[in-house]
Amino acid sequence: MLPQHLSSRYPALLCAAFLALACGAAPILPLNARDEPKQPPTPAPDFNRDVRPILAARCFKCHGPDEGSRKAKLRLDTRDGAEHVLGKAKNSELVLRIASMEAGTVMPPPATKVTLTAKERETLAAWVAAGAKYDAHWSFVAPKRPEVPKLKIQLVHPIDAFVVARLQKDGLSLSPEADKYTLIRRVYLDLIGIPPTPEEVEAFVNDKTANAYEKLVDRLLASPQYGERWARKWLDLARYADTNGYEKDRRRSIWPYRDWVIKAINDDMPYDQFTLEQLAGDMLPNATTAQKVATGFHRNTMLNEEGGIDPLEFRYHAVTDRTAVTGTVWLGLTVGCAQCHTHKFDPITHAEYFRMFALLNNADEPEFSVPSPELQNQRAAIEAKAADLLKLMVGATAQQGDAYVAWQEAERKQAVKWVTLKPSKMEAGPTKLAIQPDGSIFASGDAKKRDLYTLTLEDLPAGVTAFRIEALPDERLPGNGPGRAYYEGPKGDYLLSEFMLTVDGKPVAVTGASETHTRGNLTAKMAIDGHPHTGWGGSGREGVGSSAVFNPAKPLTTKNAKLDLLFERHYAASLGRFRVSVTTAEGVKARDIPADVEELFTRPKGTLPNTEAILILGHWLYTAPELKVRRDEREALLKRLPAYPTTLVMQERPADNPRPTFRHHRGEFLQPKEAVKPGVPAMFGAQLNSPKNRMEFAKWLVSADNPLTARVTVNRHWNAFFGRGLVRTLDDFGYQGELPSHPELLDWLASEFQNPSPTPPLKREGLKPGDVPAPPPFLGEGVGGRGSWSIKRLHKLIVTSATYRQASLVKPDLLVRDPENKLLARGPRVRLEAEQIRDSALKAAGLLSPKMYGPSVFPPQPPGITTEGTYGRLDWQVSTGEDRYRRGLYTFAKRTAPYAMFGTFDGPSGEACTAKREVSNTALQALTMLNDAVLLEVAQSLAKRAVMHDGKTVDRVAYLFRLCLVRPPTADETASISKFYEAQRERFAREPERAAKVAGAGDGATERAAWTATARAILNLDEFVTRE
Amino acid sequence: MLDVTRRHFFRDCGYGVGKAALASLLCRGSTRGADTPRAPESLAPKKPHFAGKAKAVIHLFMAGAPSQLDLFDYKPELAKLEGKPLPPEVIKGQRYAFIRPEAAVLGPRFKFAKHGKSGAELAEVLPHLAKIVDDVCILKAVHTDQFNHAPAQIFFNTGFSQPGRPSMGSWVVYGLGCETKELPAFVVMSTGAGISGGAANWSSGFLPTIYTGTRFRNQGDPILNVSSPAGIDAELQKDTLDLVADLNRKRLATVGDPEIATRTAAYEMAGRLQTAAPELTDLKKEDKETLALYGADPDKPSFARACLLARRMVERGVRFITIYNEGWDAHSDVTGNSRNNCKTTDQASAALVSDLKRRGLLDSTLVVWGGEFGRTPMVESNPVLGRSLGRDHHPQAYTIWMAGGGIKAGVTLGRTDDLGFHPVEGAVHVHDVQATILNQLGFDHEKLTFKHAGRDFRLTDVFGKVIKDALA
């Protein structure tokens, strides 16, 4: 490797030559003057690079794609629209207007508060003078694989060829390769998110084989921790969190989706498949459990559970979020800007926005149980025991035959004959009511705060004396029903506010009401009291049936009637599954007996086949007082049945009940206008296959017809490694986005990502046979071959380049010439992300748990974070055991009160899609690193490791230093730190009480306290939180 | 050799430690991606668009929404109509959270009287405000777009109903930078049961995260981790900071990244915070008369204590302070709710204004008092929820007041109809209030913008007009 002294003394070009050798290519020779590109005469402005950004920023707002805000019928975003004002250079109205000094003539008009700079005016004038050529926007044209630049000395790695070719234009070159310590720490942090152990470092530093680095990369790509690192980045885009957001911000269970992401990334699921499964996994043929779980991507939207909200309004907001996020993540376009009006800059009309919205607007949003073999086995074992108990109960029944027979006799006397009604017509607004095989009615579609079910009843038996409403459980409903409450109230809750019967348009008096179950005062009588806010409530019995009986004042005299069931509450609480029956028997009240059992008791004695008689036995077993002891035992056992974890999924609506989508004026929920059909914007010149739905949308996103997805994706990954995208605006590839710094490299990477193809054979001139490295790892297997859309392959391609491997030393002259490091003449130095800082600290301390997957955990944080000032309070019960030390990605994410340390280090809240995290450098971060309890615990553990380490103080200092920073300390650093240690040890020796406080429990507090202080200082170095 | 390089570097590149430290003596530090030029995001003090009257804002946010009809907007007509529904043409098409639009009217719950030279009409439960009413400007016809707490609070604070946009305080610090070198520029305090809008209310949204509001907490450290762990005494902390600074300096010499100097500056700032925060929150230095004026117990968290802290913060250069008083959500017993919340807030809110005034700070400090929306003229009662004699959410019209910072004193602006339902005169949208707050600080709200996702965003979205009538 390049010794330190060389790097500072040798000119850059020599270093580059050294680097090229190290990479296995011939050295780059000093540039010959003849190779310098000649300065051509000032060229005409390039439309995409120079002109459109000005027009877009200054003019499009009034003269752009949005008809609604267009002034003077002039649009400057198309040549046709602008033709009449462009003219020739001398008589161009556009040039005259922008140059005008008169308030009434000048463009943009003073009232807009937008002004053109002198340079912008010159550019526009020069462009008009040169013929005002319009070019298609670069990113809206599919990438064509560019030739890898031919350099005088051909570099091995195509990325380097592109980067060096660009650097040479400015007379620059790559920096030398980073030293091995820096390199291993960098590639560990980048690929798996945590630093290497000193042993791993030694192994790498001492591995002198030619492909030592490549072996390291392969090992990291295969590590399960790779998936954890890259899942976190994806979860930023997915706006993942463990709570619902908004006021109440209650817990939700969607961690199975997070685990799906980790697994998919570790399996290197091709990105096109990764896309299909997340956007439309439920619609894949024979969708697997995992594919359904994957659709959690768009279920990470927030859910407002505040009392009294309009649930459809917040569902609408969720779909706008899904539309915008899909635009950001796959298209790199600010699609969300077209929610309120036609996009001011990009060619997306208001109607087209809602066509995309429609593609995502046709799903139901259920909870989904995720069975696991482990839980299945546990359940089976318990169920087997319960079955044994049931057998014992059956045996006992046989012994007490008389009681059983007497009970049946008694039941037969009480049984009422009910007739189940099948309404001839059912209306319920956006809700669809459908009759089930058992005669019950199932409600699907969107529930509201006020749902009115109107049932037309025909052919009633003569003299109806009572109506029975059975509220029935159903696993398709929230909390298994019977109600449809899915937010704010208990899941599956319902409130039957009014039971209203009419005959011939006249209300029928209903005077009797009784129910089998009720919670509190929510009796069936309240459903006939005329007050819409009171009613019969099934709360407390979610997932369990109950029934109410309503008696008209007089038996009905007609065959036809209309039944209105009103459900009105401050949250959606209509019934999801129910059955309506009538009887003509007198004095009937609600009875707590299953309807099918009661029906059997109405049949003539002794006529029951065994299959049905068993139902009667079953009811006996569930109710007989004689069997109470066994039954209680069995119920206690069943309570121990472990529940399957649930997750949130999308489920496309059935073909016979699609949800219509409308264009909403100004993007407002309350202003739906004309209906729109699903589709993608016309600018893409492509049509979706039919049926135009979520699945076809997902397929189109990753098809060759879409010019954006591959570019946007490789750019985001490039950003992850270099701290800057080739297109700096990761989320905007539209007219307002920045142009790529290396357009050919971006397109080459995008092409290579979709269709890995063989790279031209290497030129190996100037290398001795022994120097020839193995074939580069990035070679593909041809178009459509293995490795297509492979993220791991993309990562390997990037991290094996010399561009990635160069040192990050910031040379003063470079800082002046290229402060943003756009040209990549050095490696980037970036602050670690919040989770990386936590994970690195725990790893250094030897505390980091390798446990993967499962529900989110609660590591320590300062008191009050999730309670004080938080409306939706969460008691943060600190996890015990290894869950205290899990990777940051498993930390419970509460949207309105994120984990304090992550918030301080720019972690996202999960309220919005984050394409790029901010990187700040603040005093609050310093306070966290210095004083947070987690960091102190880390320092204490590091102190224990130091004490256990054999050697003198300086050896222990070196050991601590390497645990935290990977590289060995310089002599100078060792001396400073050792001096600090000795000084603290002396002070602690004098103050044993203070030592005990700092060191924590245990012997040898003085030494441990001093080492704790020392470790704490090292953890606070800039280098610890920086990826060099 | 290295020294020469470094001197060149610091001299010619303008990134000397001194300069870096100055530019980023930053209340919260600096921000940058590997790619972001940092100059525009610095927290160094900046000039607004024009000379503003106000240098600081104290926003007393009455979360949950006070009943304007029982505190400010006296409507005898409601007493006459009590028990009857409002006319159908008034309630047609209105949406409510809990009640039906046809719910019966509820008359004013308190006695009202006129106060001060200005003759402003106030309910009897606001005796302290009554005494300073000639210093405030009451806006009686404010309206908003949202009728649920979280979205409406987020709307008032960020100009948009969904989380993700920068809050007012963030915009202000983005525009003005930071004056204090030892405290955060934007502080948030909660004095009640919890804030519906949550952290989105003080988020920096898509602005750099350094503009996020810093919570001052009631339990544990006032600022997270501002005290050293047990046993880490001042001497050890100083030794540690010295060692860290020394090693960082050496690293800077090798690596050359000015961000290291910024980190050192952030640590220096952290050191100052460790001294400044306890000094700020130590109210023992306040005289008895002042404590009594606010009704603050120096050691007990309360709205009164938060108001006093806010004054101390303004004295120390903090730009924007939001104090939340939660608990105004009177769905039931609006009488008791209003009485209790006034007991908690009236004295201290008035004391804040008069205390600022006697210290000569009121002219440069804008105080804003109000909630996220108003409450209905109709009664809320619901036996299922155990509610009676409450009022539901009412976004159509409500009252806030402002004082100081160049706002006209002793006026009442805006009028609602006889039912207190809709504005009939001087209607003011929440975006107008936001535009006015920015205006008082010296900003043209249409020009205080940040480019994000392809376009310029601002606090007032594409709306907002400065309330000219409210300007002194």
Identify the weakest region by mean pLDDT among A549-553, A585-589, B35-39, B204-208.
Answer: B35-39
Distance CA B59, CA B195 (A): 14
- For A920, name the nearest residue in chain B, comparing CA atoms only: B31
Give the count of beta carbons closer than 10 Å to the beta carbon of residue B47: 11
> Tell me, what's the pLDDT at A9?
35
HSE toward the beta carbon, residue B327, CA cutoff 13 A: 17
Give the containing element (helix H, strand E) for B455: strand B455-458
Which of A245, A816, A862 has its CB closest to that of B225? A862
User: Does residue B39 register a pLDDT over 90?
Assistant: no
- Specify the long-range contacts of residues A319-322, CB closer than 8 Å, at least 24 apart: A319/A357, A319/A360, A319/A361, A320/A357, A320/A667, A321/A239, A321/A912, A321/A913, A321/B162, A322/A298, A322/A360
* Domain layout of chain A by residue ranges: 4-39+145-222+710-759+772-817, 47-132, 270-363+660-706, 417-590, 933-1027
Give the pLDDT band (50/70/90) at residue A811.
Answer: confident
Q: How far is A725 from chain B (nearest CA, A)?
A: 9
User: Does residue A634 register a pLDDT over 50?
Assistant: yes
Are the CB atoms for A800 and A159 separated by under 8 Å?
no
Domains of chain B: 1-30+233-287 (no CATH), 54-219+301-452 (3.40.720.10)
DSSP symbols for A686-718:
--PPSS-SHHHHHHHHTSTT-SSHHHHHHHHHH
Chain B residues near residue A828 by CB distance under 8 angstroms:
34
Radius of gyration of chain B (CA): 24
**Orientation of helix A971-990 relative to helix A953-965, angle to 10°:** 110
> Tell me, what's the pLDDT at A42?
67
In chain A, what percentage of residues exceed pLDDT 90?
72
Which of A920, A928, A1025 has its CB closest to that of B210? A920
- Specify the long-range contacts of residues A594-599, CB closer than 8 Å, at least 24 apart: A594/A545, A594/A619, A595/A418, A595/A468, A595/A470, A595/A547, A598/A415, A598/A416, A598/A418, A599/A415, A599/A417, A599/A418
Would you call A921 and B32 a contact, using CB atoms and an 8 Å cutoff? yes
A819-841: average pLDDT: 95
pLDDT digits (tens, 9 = 90+) for B294-348: 999 998 999 999 999 999 999 999 999 999 999 999 999 999 999 999 999 999 9
Q: How far is B92 from chain A (nearest CA, A)?
A: 15
- For A668, name the nearest residue in chain B, comparing CA atoms only: B145
User: Does residue B400 register a pLDDT over 90?
Assistant: yes
User: Does residue B4 register a pLDDT over 70?
Assistant: no
pLDDT digits (tens, 9 = 90+) for A369-410: 999 899 999 999 999 999 999 999 988 888 878 888 899 999
φ and ψ at B334, to 5 degrees?
Answer: -65, -25
> Tell me, what's the pLDDT at B181?
82
Chain A residues near residue B31 by CB distance under 8 angstroms:
918-921
Q: What does the H/E/C string look like for B332-382?
A: CCHHHHHHHHHHHHHHHHHHHHHHHHHCCCHHHEEEEEECCCEEEEEEEEE
A97-106: average pLDDT: 86
Mean pLDDT score of chain B, rounded to an integer?
A: 89
Total-model pTM? 0.90
Are the CB atoms for A622 and A363 separated by under 8 Å?
no
- For B325, name the nearest residue in chain A, comparing CA atoms only: A869
Handedness of CA B70, B73, B77, B83 (dihedral sign): negative
Are the CB atoms for A431 and A668 separated by under 8 Å?
no
> Tell me, what's the pLDDT at A542?
67
- For A820, name the nearest residue in chain B, comparing CA atoms only: B35
φ and ψ at A219, to 5 degrees?
Answer: -65, -45
Identify the weakest region by mean pLDDT among A163-172, A605-614, A634-643, B104-113.
Answer: A605-614
In chain A, what percentage of residues exceed pLDDT 70?
92
Would you call A922 and B382 a contact, using CB atoms and an 8 Å cutoff? no
Would you call A928 and B224 a contact, using CB atoms and an 8 Å cutoff? yes
> Tell me, what's the pLDDT at B178?
86
Are the CB atoms for B205 and A906 separated by under 8 Å?
no
Chain A residues near residue B28 by CB distance under 8 angstroms:
920, 922-924
Distance CA A45, CA A423 (A): 73
- For B190, name the nearest residue in chain A, comparing CA atoms only: A869
pLDDT digits (tens, 9 = 90+) for A958-1007: 999 999 999 999 999 999 999 999 999 999 999 999 999 999 888 999 99
* Max intra-chain CA distance, chain B: 90
Q: What is the CATH number of domain A417-590?
A: 2.60.120
Are the CB atoms for B186 and B297 separated by under 8 Å?
no
Chain A residues near residue B8 by CB distance under 8 angstroms:
812
> Tell me, what's the pLDDT at A773?
41
Chain A residues near residue B383 by CB distance under 8 angstroms:
521, 531, 533-534
Strand, helix or coil at A293? Answer: helix
Give the pLDDT band (50/70/90) at residue A15.
Answer: very low
Q: How far is B210 from chain A (nearest CA, A)?
A: 7
pLDDT digits (tens, 9 = 90+) for A735-773: 888 899 999 999 999 999 998 865 443 343 433 444 434
User: Does residue A662 register a pLDDT over 90?
Assistant: yes
Radius of gyration of chain A (CA): 35
Q: How far is A68 from chain B (nearest CA, A)?
A: 15
pLDDT digits (tens, 9 = 90+) for A167-186: 999 999 999 999 999 999 99
Q: How do B398-403 and A506-507 pair as beta strands?
A: unpaired
**Exposed / middle / buried, residue A171 (Cβ in 10 Å: 0-12, 13-18, 19+):** exposed
Q: What does the H/E/C string look like for A932-943?
A: CHHHHHHHHHHH
A897-915: average pLDDT: 94
Are the CB atoms for A354 and A319 separated by under 8 Å?
no
Q: How do B56-61 and B320-324 pair as beta strands?
A: parallel
pLDDT digits (tens, 9 = 90+) for B162-174: 998 999 999 999 9
> Tell me, what's the pLDDT at A786?
59
- For A868, name the nearest residue in chain B, comparing CA atoms only: B194
Mean pLDDT score of chain A, rounded to an integer?
A: 90
Quote the distance between the C-alpha of residue A694 and its chain's center: 17
Chain A residues near residue B100 by CB distance under 8 angstroms:
532
Distance CA B191, CA A148 (A): 63
Closest CA to A634 of A394, A381, A385, A378: A385
Chain A residues near residue B246 by CB distance under 8 angstroms:
976
Give the count of beta carbons closer than 10 Å to the beta carbon of residue B337: 24
Cβ contacts of A811 within 8 Å, gap of 6 or more:
A12, A175, A826, B256
Quote the distance between the C-alpha of residue B53 and its chain's center: 18
How many CB pairs below 8 A link A and B? 322
Chain B residues near residue A1022 by CB distance under 8 angstroms:
248, 251, 259-260, 263-264
Chain B residues near residue A1016 by CB distance under 8 angstroms:
232, 240
Quote the distance between the C-alpha of residue B16 and its chain's center: 36
The better pLDDT of the pair A772, A116 is held by A116
Quote the distance between the C-alpha of residue A957 and its chain's center: 42
Give the containing element (helix H, strand E) for B260: helix B258-281
Are the CB atoms for A319 and A337 separated by under 8 Å?
no
> Tell me, what's the pLDDT at A154?
64
Give the pLDDT band (50/70/90) at residue B218.
Answer: confident
Handedness of CA A334, A335, A341, A347 (dihedral sign): positive
**Is residue A519 less than 8 Å (CB to CB) from chain B?**
no
